[in-house]
Amino acid sequence: MVIPPPDIRPGRKPGQPAGPVLLFRLITRQLFGSRLRQNPAEFMLSAAQQYGDLVRYRVGNHTIFLLCHPQLIADFFGKDTPSHHRNLVMQRSRDVLGTGLLTSEEPLHMRQRRLAGPAFLRNRIAGYGDVIADKTLAQISKWQSGTVVEMHAQMMELALRIVSKCLFDLDEFDDLHAMESAVGSFMAFLPLAFLPFSRIVQASPLPSMRKLRKGQRYLDELIYRLIAERRADPTDRGDLLSMLLNATDDGSAGSAQSGEHTTATAQQGSGSTPGTVQTMSDQQLRDECVTVILAGHETTANALTFAVHLLAQHGDVQQRLHDEAVRVLGPTRAPTAADYPALSYSTQVFAETMRLYPPVWITGRLVAETYQIAGYTIPKGASLMAPQYAVHRDPRWWPDPDLFDPERFTEAAKATRPRNSYFPFGGGSRQCIAEGLAWMEGTLCLAIIARDWRLSPAPNTPAQPNLDPAISLRPKGGLSVRVDHR
């Protein structure tokens, strides 16, 4: 496949690529008001359209580069990785999230990935198909035909119930709202990690920070209690925690496996010494569990919310998805993981939703050592951003990019595009470890909903949803849909 090379334009100053002057943008916003106001995702899309594939700008004294071409993104995920650290938000979130896969640096990250990897293999996640179906059917059974449902709250609850069952084998909580509140407080804190004084804010008596600390205590008590119970009775319950508890790593590539504990736990922050079998400490298990809860809950819920909204807006797509679900599943049968490959159009709908509204709308890194991109110096301490929201709407790869069209994801259509024109789960060594589970969850959930319910736009709901691009891309103020039982 021959693709056009990156469109890299010189900036106003020698040795710098093109980019906006944010002081000028601030002045124009004050003069012209809301017409020029953009959320961060829209700003990055317009910056790519106006300045090309390598964009430079400054926020205060911090330099940021946007990478908006598949070739540059391939290098970002590949050969340039040794020059990167985790981004500032992830670094400053370790006090809350710990050092799980989201926040850890090498060599700890690779060791943890080897240990956690078997929990997300295809044969393991196939067992979660029944969980996804059961929880989805239970959730939508609460809907009343002919009413308007706020879908974001519904999908957040559904995703939380699914991840709690898959991770901990928990069917019910002592207090579901406490779990929701704890997760919500974590997600509300993460944008504050951009601030240089985030630790001071975190320790403050602000109501939001008191809520964060309360949520942290709740999750810690729950997770450590479950870990202690499993240590006392290591029977494999078929959940992710069982796999993580039993995972071992001898330090060699591809060595992680599930088995009996054979030696003491590895020290955090270190790599594995070849020949020394290691397992996860309670602290590391807690950190990975928090990572799975946050990454596997918010992002999937947001994608499902946008998907249901788009189906309500596009009756032809909804009908085709309904027909496929009835053909594959029949009128009442609950799906299983074995049905997943046959639900190809449902997968296409989910894929196209994540093109338009990628839950992870931007992937960032901090430059650890100065290096070059296309002849331009990328200084140590700068931030590199690969914005999914902008690349997924680039007309070079996506004709009529604002159109919702699941046909873009037929096998034939996918073969016409460069690989890194679509990366909703990131890429390289940090590609989402639970991607396979997320695809199955999205596909099965949408098939069940479209089979059993007719979706239509709720009154006063805009066709183009208002967006809130924080740590993940979520609908601002929720999204409501009218539901009628089929």
Helix runs in 330-476, H state only: 344-356, 388-391, 411-414, 435-452
Q: Is the pLDDT of residue 228 over 80?
A: yes
Distance CA 169, CA 171 (A): 6
Residue 68 lies in a domain: yes
Residue 375 lies in a domain: yes
Distance CA 362, CA 157 (A): 25
Q: Which residue has the higher pLDDT, 5 or 193?
A: 5
The mean per-residue pLDDT over the stretch 190-206 comes to: 70
The mean per-residue pLDDT over the stretch 122-146 comes to: 94
pLDDT value for 274: 55
pLDDT in tens, 62-113: 899 999 999 999 999 999 989 988 776 776 667 777 787 877 888 888 888 8
pLDDT in tens, 177-190: 777 777 777 777 66
Domain range enclosing 381: 1-98+361-423
The mean per-residue pLDDT over the stretch 114-118 comes to: 84
Residue 123 lies in a domain: no
What phi and psi, each to the nearest 5 degrees, are found at residue 235? -55, 135
Distance CA 181, CA 427 (A): 31
Residue 396 lies in a domain: yes
Q: Is the pLDDT of residue 25 over 60?
A: no
pLDDT value for 251: 57
User: SS3 of 144, please?
Assistant: coil
Please report which confidence band the pLDDT of residue 218 belongs to, taking 50, 70 and 90 as the band edges: confident
Residue 2 lies in a domain: yes
pLDDT value for 273: 54
The mean per-residue pLDDT over the stretch 17-44 comes to: 65
Looking at the 3D structure of the chain, how many domains does it have?
1
Q: Is the pLDDT of residue 258 over 60?
A: no
The mean per-residue pLDDT over the stretch 29-34 comes to: 44
Compute the mean pLDDT over every residue in the chain, rounded to the nearest whole number. 86
Residue 485 lies in a domain: no
The mean per-residue pLDDT over the stretch 216-238 comes to: 88
Number of neighbouring beta carbons within 10 Å of residue 85? 15
Residue 12 lies in a domain: yes
Q: Is the pLDDT of residue 174 over 80?
A: no
CATH number of the structural domain spanning residue 404 = 3.30.43.20
Residue 236 lies in a domain: no
Q: Is the pLDDT of residue 215 over 50?
A: yes
Residue 150 bridge partners (DSSP) = 480
The rounded percent of the chain whose pLDDT value lies above 90 is: 57
Side by side, the strands of the sheet bearing 453-457 are 147-150, 480-485, 453-457
CB neighbours of 155 closer than 8 A, spacing ≥ 6? 300, 301, 302, 304, 305, 308
pLDDT value for 97: 75
pLDDT in tens, 381-427: 999 999 999 999 999 999 999 999 999 999 999 999 999 999 999 99
Q: Is the pLDDT of residue 34 over 60?
A: no
Identify whether 424 is preceded by a cis peptide bond (ω within 30 of 0).
no
Angle, CA of 33, 19 and 387, to the nearest 5°: 85
The mean per-residue pLDDT over the stretch 359-375 comes to: 94
Rounded to two decimals, the pTM is 0.89
String of b and e for 8-38 (b: at least 16 CB within 10 Å)? beebeeeeebbbbeeeebeeeeeeeeeeeee
The mean per-residue pLDDT over the stretch 108-123 comes to: 85
CB 399 within 8 A of CB 416: no
The tokens describing 288, both together, are: 């990975």
Q: Is the pLDDT of residue 288 over 80?
A: yes
